[in-house]
Structure 1
Amino acid sequence: MSESIQSTGGTGGTGSAVVADAASDADLLAQTAIAVEAAGSVLRERFGGVVRHRTREELMRALAANDEAALDVLRPRLTFLRPGARWVEEELDGGALPAGEWWVVDPAEGNVNHLHGLPDWAVTATLVRENQPVLTAVHLPLTGETYTALAGGGAHLDGRPLHVSETTDLGLGLVATSQARPDEDEAVTRRIGASITAMLLDALVVRTSVPATLHLLNVAAGRIDAFWQFAGARADLLPGALLVSEAGGRISDAEGRPWTTQSESLLAAAPGVHTDAVATLSR
């Protein structure tokens, strides 16, 4: 995004055109949720024991097979909903998008966990309009939960409103981080390690795992007080960033500056611990 993520903190606006657009986007979000749930059913049927692989090539083929199975469901449904919207083809891409509407989709967020028989994976779809996330739907097939957020319309879990935690003491906080990709630059990897050490000194408990989206869901739901990540892609940060923002959380980079998809880090936190988290990550 060329602009920082914004939360209007309400439902609707002024003028009949704004109200009509909000109603249209709300309907679109409902259909998007149905689409990610359908794709999730396909991945759930493919889930089981560990998928063995002896080489990097075998692993990549298994990852691609999961992606393709989910995309076979997602692409026609989302294209039908928004025929003029373009698709981000590479889920690891970052940076600003060209003008217009884009579907930013991760058909198997946490794909490597799926292949290892671990439960931490999801299906996500986010509509971006003029470089601002408009709506997002995230489905967790193994629990049946669907998280949704609409810009200006709040964040919800299966229709129930979400709100970030009221924690005001980072020393009592449960925080989390993730790595953006396996082959991360060495400087970023060392920065991740240093940040974990800093948080271990300042926070109560630190969780480290992939994928980022599942941690961000927990921040939005008030279960985790802060999440940070260095580097990252649109697909693994935009859904959770919108959810946290609409749930009343604060989104910035690790230094406290406005976050965009061009930022080198992301911090999503409850308002009461955001300042202290920035101080810890900036040491």
Structure 2
Amino acid sequence: MPERIQNTGVATSSDAELLAQTAIAVRAASSGLRERFGDVVRYETREELMHALAANDDTVLDILRPRLEALRPDAHWVGEELDGGALPAGEWWVVDPVEGNVNHLHALPEWAVTATLVRDNQPVLTAVHLPLTSETYTALAGGGAHLDGRPLHVSGTKDLGLSIVATSQARPDEDEKVVRRVGSSITEMLIDALVVRIAVPATLHLVNVAAGRIDAFWQFAGGRADLLPGALLVAEAGGRISDAEGRPWTLGSDSFLAAAPGMHADAVATLSR
């Protein structure tokens, strides 16, 4: 039985069908974004960058939001994907219309569309679609994690020195204290791990942890939308979720760690130095 994120075993019998419909909605919303991908989008000012990012977001949300609201009319909607912290009670859709939006603008392939239903601050279900490969990752609390219907399992690696690990940048304008903490953690992992991968976005690393391709992922700070999908996927694939010091992870935590069970303790020790 995978280690749960706090008490994520809160899915109901109808949530399996809801997940199937969520995956369909996410795939449908991805089509317009795929058509926009190709040439590098040039920008010279922050305003031009924000406009390009918003155009991508709107392309997805124009399709995705009405579909998800129809599936769960009483669920609330988180409007800002970079926001963090606990949510009020009830159901919330936490969506990242373009996870890795900057990559999309730069004609890099690492981007996805995600939608996660959160119930009383616990992720219940998630769908992550990668339009360039047509892959869909899904997870249901208590129901496992899957890639296009095939079960996912984290790696059996037990030696951090033989591990591929990864980290990501939570946001461009991060606090300097957090940036320095990220830098020092990368140095420590470069000493202890076999290979360290550093790139955005978080979700693309986390689906690889769930699939057993990468052994651990950590991040300091971060929004709900970039951590919740992968957290549920990894937990349901048998991985361990905590903060960087090994304590239970919540939406209010200031760090995040997802790892194969056999090397979780070693990763915590490295990140706690």
Instruction: Tell whether the structures are fold-level matches, with TM greater than 0.5.
Output: yes
Output one character per residue of 1:159-202: Cα deviation in whole Å (capped at 9) or x when no partner: 00000000000000000000100001000000000000000000
Where does structure 2 lack aligned partners over 5 or more consecutive residues?
Answer: none
**Residues matched between the structures, number:** 270
Aligned CA-pair RMSD = 1.2
**Which residue type is aligned with residue 190 of structure 1?**
R
| 1:151 lines up with 2:152 in the alignment | no
| Equivalent residue for 1:214, pick from 204, 209, 228 | 204
Aligned to 2:15: 25
Aligned to 1:72: 62
- For 1:190 and 1:107, the matched residues in 2 are separated by 29
| Equivalent residue for 1:247, pick from 224, 237, 243 | 237
Output one character per residue of 1:42-65: Cα deviation in whole Å (capped at 9) or x when no partner: 100010110000101000000000
| 1:192 lines up with 2:193 in the alignment | no
Aligned-pair identity (%): 81
- For 1:162 and 1:279, the matched residues in 2 are separated by 27
Deviation at 1:39, TM superposition (A): 1.1
Aligned to 2:6: 5
| Equivalent residue for 1:89, pick from 55, 74, 79 | 79
Output one character per residue of 1:72-105: Cα deviation in whole Å (capped at 9) or x when no partner: 0111100000000010001111111001100000
Output one character per residue of 1:12-65: Cα deviation in whole Å (capped at 9) or x when no partner: xxxxxx9xx633000000000001101111100010110000101000000000
Deviation at 1:5, TM superposition (A): 3.5
* 8 Å Cα contact 2:164/2:214 also seen in 1: yes
Where does structure 1 lack aligned partners over 5 or more consecutive residues?
Answer: 9-17
Give me the TM-score of the superposition, normalised by structure 1.
0.94
**Which residue type is aligned with residue 188 of structure 2?**
A
Aligned to 1:61: 51
* 8 Å Cα contact 1:40/1:141 also seen in 2: yes
What aligned pairs does 1:131-142 form with structure 2 within 5 A after superposition?
Answer: 131-142=121-132
Aligned to 1:109: 99
Deviation beyond 2 Å, 4+ runs, structure 1: 3-8
**Which residue type is aligned with residue 63 of structure 1?**
L
- For 1:277 and 1:42, the matched residues in 2 are separated by 39
* 8 Å Cα contact 1:119/1:142 also seen in 2: yes
